Amino acid sequence: MKTTTNFQSWYSTIQSNLSRRYKFNLFSSIKLFFGIREKLTYEERILWFVQNNYETGMEYNLDIEVMHHTQYLLKLAEEKKINLKKNNKTVVFHDPCELGRGSGVYEQPRKVLEMISHVKSMKNEKNISLCCGGSIGNTELDYYKRDEITKDVLEELENEKPDTLVTACPLCKKTLNKFSKTEIVDIAELVEVSMKTSKA
């Protein structure tokens, strides 16, 4: 079973309710009052929302870079600000809907994972990745149907027999954990373990 959540329509509704002045005040406050040049988010829905409302801020040259934590982790690793040690384990990466199809972030988390483990490819990944079943943008499916979707996704993920299932969304992790027989972690947790190992 496959499902497609109409998250772009959902966010567009929110976006249309934000006035130009409000959006400017939001980003000018972030920069001017807090001195922030980079905004980091763990939640890919926030990434999508901020990126699609940041054009107004660009008009005022506020110059704030917005990143998902997977992008930030890759930046830290490439700049040698964190050291990662590779292990012999295999992982599969589940692309969160809003991070992948919503924001086009596919390669950064995989590049980070390749520094740590062997990454297995799947039939349905990247722009054709399956929804975990827990999307807050889908209000038409009941919990039983959502659970069916989750089980179908897990069947494909676990079919590769990885040591670990990795995602980059707290909602995906929580949803998949309900039925998974395999360890599920956020990519940041895997990075933390790898950093500790590299220091040992």
Asked whether the predicted pLDDT for residue 174 surpasses 60, the reply is: yes
Q: How far apart are the first and last CA of the chain?
A: 44
Q: What is the pLDDT of residues 24-80, one digit of tens each?
A: 445 555 454 444 455 555 556 566 666 665 544 444 455 667 778 898 899 999 999
State the pLDDT at residue 184.
96
Asked whether the predicted pLDDT for residue 139 surpasses 90, the reply is: no
State the pLDDT at residue 24.
45
* Residue (of 120, 109, 78, 86) closest to 172 by Cα position: 109
Higher pLDDT, 118 or 62: 118
Q: What is the mean pLDDT of the segment spanning 115-143?
A: 87
Percent of the chain residues topping a pLDDT of 70:
66
Ranges 12-16, 50-54, 193-197, most confident: 193-197
Coil, strand or helix at 137: coil
State the pLDDT at residue 34.
45
The total number of residues shown for the chain amounts to 200
Q: What is the pLDDT of residues 149-161, one digit of tens each?
A: 999 999 999 998 9
- Residue 83 CA, distance from chain mean position: 22
| Domain chopping of the chain, boundaries | 7-72, 84-199
Average pLDDT score over the chain: 78
| pTM (2 d.p.) | 0.74
For domain 84-199, is the CATH number 3.40.50?
yes
State the pLDDT at residue 4.
37
State the pLDDT at residue 2.
39
CB 144 within 8 A of CB 164: no
Using the Cα atoms of residue 41, residue 100, residue 48 and residue 17 in order, give the sign of their dihedral. negative
CB 17 within 8 A of CB 49: no
